[in-house]
A and B are shown apart, each in its own frame.
Chain A
Amino acid sequence: MEKEQYQQLEQNVTPKPPYFKNVAKAFLVGGLICTIGQAVSLFYIIFFDFTEATAGNPTVATMVFFAMILTGFGLYKKIGQFAGAGSAVPVTGFGNAVISAAIEHRSEGLVLGVGGNLFKLAGSVVLFGVVSAFFVALIKFILVTIGVVSW
């Protein structure tokens, strides 16, 4: 059998990923996580001296804490398998990426294991997040300077 012929056969046999179903699941779970996040944020605003602007930090910390608990008990991977991007995109997904790497590499010690591999998966998120933030700010700065928009 020729390669092309086999690739044709492979295309026919392999089931197409259920895109619509995946999108719906991601929307629901992602929305649920964000709703919980909003509730946590409101909790900090109402019961503590945080404003909408300052409540972000403790909220993110709390959501990452939740992700840590779920990852530690092996539940986050199950949510991830069901929700896909829905649980990967919110900050809990970032937390999961960091924490799962930390748990995984605990056996190689604290410095070289956990320290060296903590950002194995999340490192590129941090890097490209910072880089893209820089370029977005740069573009806005240029637009403001030439007078297209204001700050």
Chain B
Amino acid sequence: MKLLGMMLPLLVSLSLLSGCGEKEKVIVYGSPENEKEVEAVLKEEDYVDKTTVIQYDNSMLVAVQIKPWDKWKKAKLEKKLQKKFDEKYPSKDVFVSADYKIFYEANKIKREQVEDNKLKDKIKKLKKLAKEET
């Protein structure tokens, strides 16, 4: 019980910390032509928590984070979103991933303003990574 007394304030303060600080939910990086459109598409899906989209040439990397309870259906929702984007942009090469690694790297690309020539390699690597199985 002593331990409980010690842990409780810590837990409360942690939960408070995560409560505030709402961040930008949808981030689109790269060619800004259809930024608003992509944003609208993602906002339609209520299971999507946060998104980072990277556009280059004719490709699009959509990294999403799914809301906690919907994570049970992560694989299904990922597929659903992929289909939606494929239908919406049939001419583009769209890659949707709900994996945290992809989301983290996408944000890093945005933050570091990676140049176009390196971007291609990097995204190629990420796609390969996302397809890896255990």
Q: Are A and B genuine complex partners?
A: yes
Main secondary structure of the interface of B (DSSP, over half): helix
Q: Which of B78-134 touch A at CB < 8 Å? A: 99-102, 104, 129-130, 132-134
| B20: Cβ under 8 A from any A Cβ | no
| B17: Cβ under 8 A from any A Cβ | no
Contact B100 A54 (CB under 8 A): no
| In the bound complex, CA of A58 to CA of B4 (Å) | 31
Main secondary structure of the interface of A (DSSP, over half): helix
Please name 24 pairs of A and B residues whose Cβ atoms are closer than 8 Å in the assembled complex, sorted by A: A21-B1, A25-B3, A28-B3, A28-B4, A28-B7, A42-B100, A45-B100, A45-B101, A45-B104, A46-B104, A49-B101, A49-B129, A50-B101, A51-B99, A51-B100, A51-B101, A51-B129, A51-B130, A52-B101, A53-B133, A53-B134, A54-B133, A56-B134, A57-B134
Contact A53 B132 (CB under 8 A): yes
Q: Which of A35-91 touch B at CB < 8 Å? A: 42, 45-46, 49-57
| In the bound complex, CA of A132 to CA of B130 (Å) | 29
Q: How far is the CB of B54 from chain A (nearest CB, A)?
A: 17
Extra contacts besides A28-B7, A51-B100, A52-B99 (17): CB < 8 Å = A25-B3, A28-B4, A45-B101, A49-B129, A51-B99, A51-B102, A51-B129, A51-B130, A52-B100, A52-B101, A53-B99, A53-B132, A53-B133, A54-B132, A54-B134, A55-B101, A56-B134
Q: How far is the CB of B124 from chain A (nearest CB, A)?
A: 13
A residues within 8 A CB of B132? Answer: 51, 53-54
| A112: Cβ under 8 A from any B Cβ | no
| In the bound complex, CA of A56 to CA of B100 (Å) | 13
| In the bound complex, CA of A54 to CA of B101 (Å) | 10
List the interface of chain B (C-beta within 8 A of A).
Answer: 1, 3-4, 7, 99-102, 104, 129-130, 132-134
| A144: Cβ under 8 A from any B Cβ | no
B residues within 8 A CB of A56? Answer: 134
| In the bound complex, CA of A55 to CA of B129 (Å) | 11
| A125: Cβ under 8 A from any B Cβ | no
| In the bound complex, CA of A50 to CA of B105 (Å) | 11
Render A6-43 as a binary contact track against B, CB cut-off 8 A, 1 for contact. Answer: 00000000000000010011001000000000000010
A residues within 8 A CB of B102? Answer: 51
Q: How far is the CB of A83 from chain B (nearest CB, A)?
A: 10
A residues within 8 A CB of B4? Answer: 24, 28
